[in-house]
């Protein structure tokens, strides 16, 4: 593996609203990392799904005022972009070998080493969730916790295998055509927000469709091929001892896989949140449904929302001011059952919602 001691920092404030892009040279090619916040704070890394970057996968969550006051107050954010998925990316040469999921994990490790990061909090969606889970299995001392959105953990099912083959052929022969985009949008979103002949598609779907137009189809194909060849990591999940919080929409194409993963994880350290009427990309479709569970999850690490004395208004979701009725599944729009869990506080068990 090549040493990754050099990077190019590009000021992208006008594009990334205060973030800065770093192009990191790794042993498996260059990777774009968008950095937000104070580097003295604990690090949180993100990794998106196929054909997405942080703007199209995590923007809804991080641009929510409630989430911003929670996440940006506690973390410095490192958005890792899949190879060739950054804004303005050129097509990757066909002579460059398609990376394996192990190669992509090694690339994540090189990014952490470049920024001299120790153990990090991880947030990943679908394919990105698989990679960060694999990373946590391979490098357990480098991960403090996992926040996974509609994660994968098994090898592709026959349904996914056929879907991936269709997508691969479309991308190879026709590029990012209308049908390619429709297949990807079905992967990300529920039918309700994708619209019907009578009901127009939602703003988030329209925005995602426009962002897909910017992707180089060959680069998307390469990432899809890497994920398509992934091994089953189910048997290794029991090795995970870091705290893990899983979100999945009950209309997600990966709903059953997320449930399967939650059953294999150590229940002392994990919790599952099912979001009603939502597709795979909960971060974009229903980011508000993540807030309470996220806040309680982070309390277990000693992290809190800023108080009024910090100059920021206290969230109505704060554990010090939250009203009991707001914790009902009906109020949250969540399909949950209250349980006792040990993942949320040091002083004793706390009520959470999980499967």
Residue 6, pLDDT above cutoff 90 = no
pLDDT at 345: 33
C-alpha torsion 317→322→324→326, nearest 10: -30
pLDDT value at residue 125: 98
> Which letter, b or e, does each residue of 237-265 get, where b requires 16 or more Cβ atoms within 10 Å of its Cβ?
beebebbbbbbbbebbbbbebbebbbebb
Q: In the chain, what percentage of residues exceed pLDDT 90?
A: 73
Q: Name residue, tokens 């609203």.
A: 17
Of residues 182 and 351, more confidence is placed in 182
C-alpha closest to that of 66 among 339, 326, 241: 326
The token pair that represents 216 in the structure block:
């180089």
Angstrom CA distances, 283 to 55, 63, 79, 239, stand at: 11, 10, 14, 27
- The predicted-structure confidence for 145-159, as pLDDT tens digits, reads as follows 999 999 999 999 999
State the pLDDT at residue 65: 86
Mean confidence (pLDDT) of the chain: 84
> CA 263 → CA 267, 268, 338, distances in Å?
8, 12, 17
C-alpha 299/C-alpha 295 separation (Å) is: 6
Task: State which fold the 20-300 domain adopts.
Answer: Rossmann fold (3.40.50)
DSSP run (H or E) holding 146: strand 143-149
Kindly give, in sequence order, each residue whose CB lies less than 8 Å from that of residue 310, ignoring residues fewer than 6 positions away: 73
User: Residue 320 above 50 pLDDT?
Assistant: no
pLDDT at position 66: 86
pLDDT (tens digit per residue) in 66-76: 888 889 889 99
Confidence of residue 313 (pLDDT cuts 50, 70, 90): very low
pLDDT of 311 strictly over 90:
no
> Is pTM beyond 0.95 here?
no
Question: Over 50: is that where the pLDDT of 122 sits?
Answer: yes
Contact 318, 258 (CB under 8 A): no
Average pLDDT of span 40-54: 96
Closest by CA position to 354, among listed 272, 292, 294: 272
**Band of residue 307 on the pLDDT scale cut at 50, 70, 90:** low
- Rounded CA separation 80/96 (Å): 20
For residue 17, what is the DSSP state? T
DSSP helix, strand, coil percent of the chain (3-state; round to 5):
40, 20, 40
Please write the tens of the pLDDT for every residue from 159-190: 999 999 999 999 999 999 999 999 999 999 99
Quick check: 213 pLDDT over 70? yes
Band of pLDDT at residue 17, cut at 50, 70 and 90: low
pLDDT of residue 206: 94
Q: Comparing C-alpha atoms, which of 42, 105, 111, 109 is closest to residue 70?
A: 42
The residues, any chain, with a CB within 8 Å of residue 187's CB and separated by 6 or more, are 49, 50, 126, 163, 253, 280
Gap between the Cα atoms of 137 and 170, Å rounded: 33
Two structure tokens written together for 87:
């804004």
Domain boundaries, the chain: 20-300
Q: Is the pLDDT of residue 4 over 50?
A: no
pLDDT tens track for 330-346: 433 444 433 333 333 33
The pLDDT score that the predictor gives to residue 212 is: 96
What single string gives the DSSP state of each residue in 311-339? TSPPPTT-TTT--GGGGSHHHHTB--EEE
d(CA 151, CA 93): 29
Pairing of strands 243-249, 7-11: unpaired
């Amino acid at each position: 593996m090549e040493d990754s001691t050099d990077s190019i920092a590009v000021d992208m404030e006008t594009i990334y609203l205060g973030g800065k892009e770093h192009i990191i040279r790794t042993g498996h090619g260059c990777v774009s990392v968008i950095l937000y916040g104070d580097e003295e704070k604990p690090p949180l890394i993100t990794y998106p799904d196929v054909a997405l970057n942080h703007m199209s996968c995590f923007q809804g969550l991080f641009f929510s005022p409630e989430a911003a006051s929670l996440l940006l107050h506690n973390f410095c954010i490192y958005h890792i972009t899949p190879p060739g998925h950054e804004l303005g990316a050129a097509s990757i040469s066909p002579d460059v070998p398609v990376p394996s999921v192990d190669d992509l994990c090694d690339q994540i490790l090189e990014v952490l080493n470049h920024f001299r990061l120790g153990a990090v909090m991880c947030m990943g969606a679908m394919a990105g969730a698989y990679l960060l889970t694999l990373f946590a299995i391979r490098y357990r001392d480098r991960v403090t916790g996992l926040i996974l959105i509609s994660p994968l953990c098994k090898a592709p099912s026959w349904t996914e295998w056929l879907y991936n083959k269709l997508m691969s052929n479309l991308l190879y022969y026709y590029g990012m055509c209308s049908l390619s985009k429709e297949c990807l949008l079905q992967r990300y979103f529920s039918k309700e927000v994708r619209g019907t002949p009578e009901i127009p598609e939602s703003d988030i779907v329209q925005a995602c469709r426009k962002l897909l137009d910017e992707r180089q189809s060959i680069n998307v194909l390469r990432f899809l091929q890497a994920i398509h060849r992934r091994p089953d990591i189910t048997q290794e999940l029991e090795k995970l001892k870091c705290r893990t919080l899983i979100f999945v929409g009950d209309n997600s194409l990966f709903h059953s896989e997320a449930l399967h993963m939650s059953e294999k994880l150590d229940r002392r350290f994990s919790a599952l949140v099912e979001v009603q009427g939502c597709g795979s990309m909960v971060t974009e479709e229903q980011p508000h449904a993540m807030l309470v569970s996220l806040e309680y999850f982070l309390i277990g690490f000693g992290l809190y929302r800023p108080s009024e004395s910090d100059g920021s208004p206290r969230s109505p979701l704060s554990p010090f001011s939250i009203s009991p009725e707001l914790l009902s599944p009906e109020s949250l729009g969540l399909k949950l059952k209250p349980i006792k869990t040990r993942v949320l506080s040091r002083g004793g068990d706390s009520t959470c919602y999980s499967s």
